[in-house]
Amino acid sequence: MIKTAPATTASARIRGAFSEGRLTWSGLALTGFSILVYIFLYAPIIILVLFSFTRDEFGVRWTGFTLDWYIRLFNNPRMMGAAWNTLVVATVSTIVSTIIGTLLAMAMERYRFRGRNAMEGLIYLPIVVPEIVMAVALLAFSAIVFDVIKMVTGETLRRNLATVTIGHIAFSISFVVVVVRTSLKNFDRRLEEAAADLGADNWNIFWRITFPLILPGIIGGALLAFTLSLDDFIISLFLSGPGTSLLPVEVYNRVRRAVTPEINAISTLMLILSMALVALSQLLQRRR
Amino acid sequence: MATLQQQQQRRDRIRLALLLTPGLLWLLLFFALPLVIIFIYSFMTNDALGRVVYEPTLNNYVTIFTQSLYVNAYWRSIWTSVLTTVICLLIGYPLAVFIARSPQQWRMPLLMLILIPFWTNFLVRIYAWQIILANNGIINGLLEIIGIGRLPLLNNEGATLVGLIYGELPFMVLPLYAAIDRFDFTLMEAAADLGANKVQAFLRIMLPMTMPGIVAGSVLVFIPTLGQFVVSELLGGAKVDYLGNLIQRLFLRANPINWPLGSAMAVLMMLVLLVLIMMYFRVTSEEER
């Protein structure tokens, strides 16, 4: 490219700021700023992991290496129980919300029907309603249901893992629908028509053509649902009952009282689990 | 006798019903109905034991609008959410530009690096800041070494703001990146060739064209921030009340608990959200034109 007149200097300046690979002051500033942001994002996590191995009893500075906090953690029945509860809730919530969400995605993507717009709204509303509103609403609802059950059968029910799971499913469905719909949109329907022309019935078409092709989307939706459930704190806090608390709730209760590196240790383990899940989903997507 | 076409139509309708029913029922029963219930609760009364009394009243709303505790919580939450959103935008926009202008093979890894912290438990991420900002924590240690001495970094509104920005930043960067990545940067050169300076080119070309990303990111950051209560409790030291703190207390810990008042607060919060988002859409769509 030939630079000719001073008239293009403004253009050159702007190109410098925004174009790839050229060293300019503004480009350097942008890079430096971005590096700082990445440090801002990662420093807390790295420090958290590091301080799960510190001897310091408050877990806020480095006074030597120890694995004590992990050993204590594994010998803490409350924490281990909460960890188990969390996994059970996440598994059940993932299975149910993935099935329901996939069916909904099929209905929304493949059919025109009356009330379709209202359905669209109902599906996307849980994504935009603040979680605390959903949590208190479900809490009030569960109290009413329990009252009714008590009146009818005389049995006193308390909030338990089932109430939490129902809540998790309610907000996960929407996210599954979003992910699965994307893969249905990219789906070449002529493949189904071809199968029908070759004499396959609907059942066979679904299981041998449609399902394998949208499977990456379904797996993506399931992994998202699983992570959302693991990650959830607010609905878990409001809907879990006494003695059935989930890991984030247990951590919250501990942090509010006194901070010990045991919290760092459990946080580190939760971190590793989340990262493993993301790595898994990336791996699955790359294979396709 | 039904024709073949009618049979086909009937089969289609049955299939649609089977696909739709589980999701429809679940969302109606465990999402829509509970929202209706708290809407009704917000017009009910409370007794001394914290039980809901079915006597219609507007008292809950009157309380919220007249007592400074509640009015202040609304203003504080709205202001903090606006501030968080604006700062996330100011940090997120240059970052998204940086990623979008990186060499092709670097973009996905750079974006994934933003996402990884977001995949870890929100509570864990906030707790990590408690360690960093603690009185005998790492920053105060550094401040002591360089001779400034310890500062009360934790348990104030500044710490709350840092935690909120940290927690919500990825939600801002993702939609921004999607919009900026689609933006054709040669348009900036065209603007410059036509005599626009950098600021003009940015304000008149790039900003309007990336507005959908700005809107999406802002809404994604604003919604959870308005209802938060964990960050202000763990980092803010629960010294001042945000909306979420009051709602949580009214529902779980107050003595007596007051669900009708808590419901009214939640309903009003949704209303505030709706109005603010609609105003925001109006302003930004004018900007786009």
Query: How many structural domains are present in chain A?
Result: 1
Q: Is the pLDDT of residue B234 over 80?
A: yes
Q: Is the pLDDT of residue A40 over 50?
A: yes
Q: How confident is the model at residue A2, as a pLDDT?
A: 40
Domain spanning B70-288, CATH architecture:
Orthogonal Bundle (1.10)
Of the partner residues A41, A122, A238, the one whose CB lies closest to the CB of residue B27: A122
Reported confidence tier of residue A206, pLDDT bands at 50, 70, 90: confident
Distance CA B34, CA B27 (A): 10
Q: Tell if the CB–CB gap between B230 and A233 is shorter than 8 Å.
A: yes
Q: What is the CATH number of the domain that holds A140?
A: 1.10.3720.10
pTM (two decimals) = 0.86
Phi-psi region of B237 (alpha: psi -120 to 50; beta: other; left: phi over 0): left
Token pair for B258:
């007051």
Residue A257 belongs to what domain range?
Answer: 76-287
Residue A40 lies in a domain: no
Residue A25 lies in a domain: no
Q: How many helices (H) and strands (E) does chain B have?
A: 15, 2
* DSSP string across B215-258: HHHHHHHHHHHHH--HHHHHTSTT-S--HHHHHHIIIIISSS--
* Pairing relationship of beta strands B52-53 and B45-46 according to DSSP bridges: antiparallel
Task: Give the residue extent of every domain in chain B.
Answer: 70-288
For A1-16, the pLDDT digits (tens) are: 344 444 444 444 444 4
Mean pLDDT score, B47-71: 92
Q: Is the pLDDT of residue B269 over 90?
A: yes
ipTM (interface pTM): 0.89
Residue A27 lies in a domain: no
Q: Is the pLDDT of residue A75 over 80?
A: yes
Chain A residue closest in CA terms to B141: A61
Residue A175 lies in a domain: yes
Chain A residue closest in CA terms to B237: A256
Q: How confident is the model at residue A23, as a pLDDT?
A: 67
Q: Is A190 on the interface with B (CB under 8 A)?
A: no
CB atoms within 10 A of CB B147: 6
Q: Tell if the CB–CB gap between B103 and A126 is shorter than 8 Å.
A: no
Please give the share of chain B, as a percent, with pLDDT higher than 70: 98
Chain A residue closest in CA terms to B173: A37
Residue A235 lies in a domain: yes
Give the mean pLDDT of chain B: 90
Residue A252 lies in a domain: yes
